Every structure is written in C-alpha cells, then in structure tokens.
Structure 1
Amino acid sequence: MDEIWETVNSLKKTVDSHFQRSDEMRWTVQALKLQEEAGEVAEAVIGALGANPRKGHSHTWDDVRKEACDVALTALVLLARLGGDPRWFFEEHVRAVAARAAQKGPAA
C-alpha cells in the first residue's frame, strides 16, 4: 500500500507543478478530471457491449477494468490535492463504510 501512496503523492506533485492556480481551482480541475475518467469507463462499457452501432465492439472488459483503475487513481490524487493526510482520511472512510456494512448484516 505504501507504493500506491508514493505514486499518488508523486502524481499530485507533478500535476500541481503544471497548474499554478489557487487551491480551489486546482481541486475543481481535479474533480473535473475525475468526471472525465468516469466518462471513459462508460465509453469502455458501451464499447465492450457493442452498444454503439457506429463503433461496434470497440473495447474489452479489460479496457473497462483499466478505466476503472484510472478513476480510482484520479480520485486518490484528488484526495491528496485537497491537503491533509489523504491516506489517513481514505482509510478512516473505508473503516466507516465497512462498519456501516457490517451493521446491516448479510444481503438477503
């Protein structure tokens, strides 16, 4: 897990060095980048299903997986760009989600 956060922090530094604006503007652009990546997941799903008659089967389910990874990584970079300790915040959030899921019990 350390390697992932090293990569996230490295990407954060790289992106920040190329966009010298206010914090809020950098956060906004990163949130928009996250939405762009989510759109690429949708495009890959449509392509994997062959649902676009003009493009046919233009993607595979592995393409969908790769795009989903891009979404996850972009979200972690957004978290890092927002400041504080992104790893702590993320792990705390995962613990809270897990606790809520455990309270609901097994799915029916």
Structure 2
Amino acid sequence: MDRLHAWLDADRAHGGREGLLLRVLKLSEEVGEVAQVVIGATGQNPRKGVSHTWDDVRSELCDVVITAMVALRTLAPDAREVFTARLASVADRSLDDPSTPVQGAEFRRTDR
C-alpha cells in the first residue's frame, strides 16, 4: 500500500486538499464499476446479457478496498494500524463474543 501511495503521489496533478478530495472521490468511481460488473454478471442489461463473471465482481471489490486503503493512507501514515483498530472496534460492537463464530455467517458462493 505504501508503494502504491507513493507512486500515486509522485504523479498526481492536484495536491493538498483538492488532491485528497479527488482521491476519496475515486472510491465512487470504483464502487460504480462494482455495480457495472454485478449488472453484467447477472445479465440485468437485456441489450448486453451476461457480460461479466463473478470473478470480475471479486476483482472490482478488491479495487474498492485498495482505493479505500490508499485514501486512508493519504489521511493517516499509519493506515494499517488505523484500519486494524477500526476493524476490531466494529467486530467488538457487532459480535457478542468476537472469538465465537457466528452461526450461518459463513460465505456461500452463489456463482456455482
């Protein structure tokens, strides 16, 4: 993540507050791409039919996570620690006992 952040910073057209806002807005673009491939994977556009796969959806979701982490790194040099602490906080408030697996919460693939 640090290398991606440095690479993007070295070649960005806008710095300061504007650059930060544009980096955060990039998330909207990536989320839109997830929507586009979900529509394609489910064949919801009758003109295009099934034009994407669930592997495409997974790839686009990864792009969202990467983009979010780079944006977080722009705001916080210790982005990994910030993310880890936030994840722990969400898990603690969401689960009665974080060490106990939630029944029925395992991932089920729907693309088989």
Length-normalised TM-score, structure 2? 0.81
Q: What's the C-alpha RMSD, in Å, of the aligned pairs?
A: 2.0
Aligned length: 101
How big is each residue's C-alpha offset from its partner over 1:43-97, in whole Å with a ceiling of 9 and x where there is no partner? 0000001001111111001100000000011100000011331011000000100
Paired position in structure 1 for 2:92: 99
Q: Which has the higher contact order (CA 8 A, sep 6+)?
A: 1
> Does residue 45 of structure 1 match 2:38?
yes
Length-normalised TM-score, structure 1? 0.84
> Which runs of no fewer than 5 residues in structure 1 stay unpaired?
1-7
Fraction of identical pairs, as percent = 44
The answer (yes or no) to whether the contact 1:47–1:60 under 8 Å persists in 2 is yes
CA distance in 1 between partners of 2:84 and 2:97 (Å): 20
Which stretches of structure 1, 4 residues or more, deviate above 3 A after TM superposition? 103-107
CA distance in 1 between partners of 2:28 and 2:36 (Å): 12
Paired position in structure 2 for 1:72: 65
> Which runs of no fewer than 5 residues in structure 2 stay unpaired?
104-112
Higher share in helix: 1
* 1:19 aligns with one of 12, 18, 31: 12
